[in-house]
Chain A
Amino acid sequence: MSTTIPATEKVDSGSIDWELVRRQFGGILRMELRGTLLSKRMLAVLFLAFAPVALVAVWVFTPMPQAMDGGPMDSVRIFSVFFVLYLGVSVFLSCLILFMSMFRNEIQERTLHYYYLSPVPREVVVVAKYLAGQAAALGTFIVGTAIFYLLIVSPWGLDELSRHMIRGPGFGNLTTYVGLSVLGCLGYGAIFLLAGLLIRNPVVVAIVVWAWEGLVPLLPVALKKLTITHYLQSMYPVPVAAKQFFAVFAEPTPGYLAVPGLLLVSTLLLALSCWRARAMEIKYGGED
């Protein structure tokens, strides 16, 4: 057995070596992406992203009896289906599954210490994990949302569909739907990443966040701003009437403020995750 390992030491000058941080970040990102894409939870995310697509496909391609066939959906009905199935269930639950487990799984599998015993700031680990989760979620939901939208408007017929997409609002709507999914992933991802660092039971987190988001119409205006739904409302591609269930009964934040607002809230949540990860002790079973 060879036993010669020369002792080497890096010189640390005290200033941040950004090139080194970039390489470390890349190293974590690659591992996290691979770990996420090869995990069973990714199968659940794929199911959640494409099950609504499959449902819509069944609705579109299965001939209905005359009495049951309500004809093509209008834009409000399309958005209602998207809001409930995609934003409310698929994006929400997928982010819960992906981001809650980013730290929680490593604690359960007792592997988090490998990162914490590396010469890498814990903040870099948090951000790399978040972005790896986002890459997996966004890759899935951008494709899923696009197929979902194209399928759901396909009963309009080819001529109408072409007009809608090329000369009408179709392309803009499609972009908006994809944008809503992206922003949903960014916001819910940040919430659940932090929750995974604070709370063990994902069911409790799911219920609390779901209830909080669901209670938006009843919340005072100041608290509405602490929900993801509030920021998404300004991007809804249909006029929001108070009687519609996806309305939040508050003046929506203008789009030019809503998107940066959501990004700011997500960044704040990410900063809280960094703080939590930095303060965390590794006891595996009794993290505090």
Chain B
Amino acid sequence: MIAWLSNRTHKQLLHFGVIVLFIAIILLKAAAVTPVVFFLVLLASFLMTVRLRFKLNPSTAWIDVLVFIGIGFYDVDMIWFTLPLVLYLLSYGHYVSLLSIIGVLFHHQAIDVVWITLFLFAFLLGVILYVQNHKNAQLLSENDSLRKKNFDLEKIQNQLIQDVAETEALSAIKERQKIAEKLHDDLGHELTGAHLALKAFVHIRNQDSTKAETFLTQVNARLDQSLTRLKDTVQNIESMQLTGIEMFKSKLDAFPELPFHFVSHGPIDDIPTYVWQLLYTTLKECITNIIKHANPSYVDVLIEVTEYIVRFKIENDGAKTEFSRTGHGLKYMRKRYQAMHGSLSIQTNNPFTLIAILPLRRHP
């Protein structure tokens, strides 16, 4: 009963209280009512129903009170029907109107045990409902603000994930520019010198053999220099870190205790770095999960590249524990895929399978 009551909303409990009071009053106090009095009581109940159904200002309860005072002239016992209004006004914390109603009630009624009991019921339930309503409103507002914060954070997260791809494209352009500058400044200069010297050599080789010899030496020296510069440039440009498939394979090799079987299909070199980065993170998450929750006899890893998509699949058996849907790792991973217009799906029964699909952006 308590559990049932605690699961009800403020409005439901208010309905419940009002109905209980009405029934109690009918059973305890209903004298032989005349049809006119009953009509008036019904009219007042109608006003109460409107109030319970639609959100009206609780002060409008005064209309009901006036109706009941009017009924009181016909039948003084009908004033009892004002008690639900006590409950209603208390539950919304309208103390001023409430005190006036209580004044009217005590003025009309002879105080007896039944009257005190019903009044206390209405009063206590009203106070409880008011406290509950107040607390609920507080929790609701806290909840709303947290939701808003969460929503903002998610928006930022998605934005950041989308920015990764754009940043990569920008870095590629910048890198190209750097290479072009280096080729132009260092290599270009030496090659132009060598080219001019070679031209001069061709021009004078039959006229002045000593001078021609000097030019040839210069060509040789400049080409040597160019070769050295080219080696330096390539060395400077080449990353010291592993990237792409190497990075991926190195991760698989780092866990010799897991029986990995890696297969790839299609033009794997076409996968851009930001996709590799995401696949790598997914692989790391999967390896962590496998170590934590499974004792597999095989772990199949597959990467398929087609003209438009990259498909990554990891499958393993021997799950030791039930898959928990409450974990955050794969949840955030899925969000990252969605932000890049891809998808991540999981099949939890044995064998456990994770399939990720990402679209490839082809530049025309």
Please determine whether chains A and B interact with each other in the same assembly. Answer: no
**Which A residues fall within an 8 A CB radius of B?**
none
